[in-house]
Amino acid sequence: MAKIKSAYFCQSCGYESAKWLGKCPSCNQWNTFVEEIIQKPSAAVPEWKGPGGTSRVAKPSAIHEIAYTEESRLATPDHEFNRVLGGGIVPGSLVLIGGEPGIGKSTLMLQLALNLKGKKILYVSGEESEQQIKMRAERLSQAEPAKDGTGVFILTETSTQNIFKQIEILEPDLIIIDSIQTLHSAHIDSTPGSVSQVRECAAELMRFAKETATPVFLIGHITKDGSIAGPKILEHMVDTVLQFEGDRHHVYRILRAVKNRFGSASELGIYEMQGVGLREVSNPSEILLSQRDEELTGITISAMLEGVRPMLIETQALVSASAYGTPQRSATGFDTKRMNMLLAVLEKRCGFRLSAKDVFLNIAGGLRVEDPAVDLGIIVAIISSHEDISVSSKICFAAEVGLSGEIRAVNRIEHRIAEAQKLGFEQIYISKYNQKGIDPTRYTIEIKTSSKIEDVFASLFG
């Protein structure tokens, strides 16, 4: 009888060791190593048939002899989901979706399955019963059941061997696994959710997806610091990693692409959580801009980009005298270190005494902004609050600020200007170095260019 092999795995980061260690060399955590059996010789590996009904034999091919055809993506009724994936679902792709507990991952995937007409979809759940999934489906959809054998099929199972048996019988067009941490394989003799089990189950599903050209969606748990639970290799194995973000106490959810082999990794989709499910938000600028009856100080509008999508967001700043010895610096939705850099530019280059002031910054709508084009809007909001002078709500900003106080150009400025014009803004401030190639006669919005932030302050505040 062959000897059973075992190894020690760190339950925090997935580091593998031949012996037990008190401290993990990778993540420096203590007492996280657990012994797991990594091979059972009695387990058999299933053989899958390709789309033509025959097993594919791997052999090397010259790259110039490989016939390339454009992938026919499966377009879903959810346009936000299509955008994040890069245009639709690619056959044979393996997609991992992670997010906070209760954020709506299962709701998003079940809603997607119910809205895909003419397809046979297998929804595998290891966390809920059939009755619980049926209750959610009744809330999400009132559609008539399919008569041609298509539709959504529910399977409550955690063994991958049993799941693959049902897949052979049903032959679905798409598979959803909820969740990968609940599955266990007979190849590995350890508990579900362990490092080796997650890795083995994902490997089996990846092999099935690639050999049969069937797309597979995996719902994954996350750790307390927000990263995908399980070994890091799980994110390397899959084709696409999506992050479902948002605050459970707010109605808006953000689906963000972290990794995508078939499209841009910087796209995002916005949803609104309602009683009957998730609603697509086709124009996010409308929800990110608050409707105000009067002009308020410390509020400006900035034109940003998420992937190829232009959006206008509201930046709010509050500057007040410090009541304690050390002034406070707080930023929500923006990098605090970059905010401190902008404050240093204002103090050094423009003479504003902000070192003894408390500065609070907030990006409205719960977004996390990394686009440097919001720099100009942020410093104008800070000075507006500092001087107690309001900025017109019909003015927006799109420029980066350098350390010497210069206003730097940003990319895709035409898309930002067009978005501001579409939403009814009257003026947009951009860098002087961005005006090359821009025809002002094409736009009804007034384009104001500057090279230094002092010129912008003189124009706005006098």
Residues in binding site for ATP: 99-106
Any residues with CB less than 8 A from the CB of 325 and at least 6 apart, and which?
A: none
Four-CA torsion 188, 190, 193, 195, nearest 10 degrees: -70
Binding residues: 99-106
> Structure tokens of 353?
């005494």
> Structure tokens of 16?
């593998």
Is residue 199 classed as helix, strand or coil in its secondary structure? Answer: helix
Task: Please give the Cα distance from 112 to 419 (Å, whole number).
Answer: 29
Any residues with CB less than 8 A from the CB of 330 and at least 6 apart, and which?
A: 336, 359, 360, 361
75: Cα within 13 Å, side-chain hemisphere: 5
On whether the CB atoms of residues 13 and 27 are closer than 8 A, the answer is yes
Any residues with CB less than 8 A from the CB of 315 and at least 6 apart, and which?
A: 299, 300, 301, 302, 334, 361, 362, 363, 364, 374, 377, 378, 381
> Structure tokens of 247?
């605050």
> Structure tokens of 258?
């972290």
Task: Please give the Cα distance from 233 to 147 (Å, whole number).
Answer: 41
On whether the CB atoms of residues 364 and 312 are closer than 8 A, the answer is no
- How many CB atoms within 10 Å of residue 192? 17
How big is the CA angle at 235 (ends 157 and 94), to the nearest 5 degrees? 55
> Structure tokens of 407?
């206003």
The 3-state secondary structure of 87-131 reads: CCECCCCEEEEEECCCCCHHHHHHHHHHHCCCCEEEEEECCCCHH
What are 159's strand-pairing partners?
Answer: 184
Task: Please give the Cα distance from 161 to 186 (Å, whole number).
Answer: 7
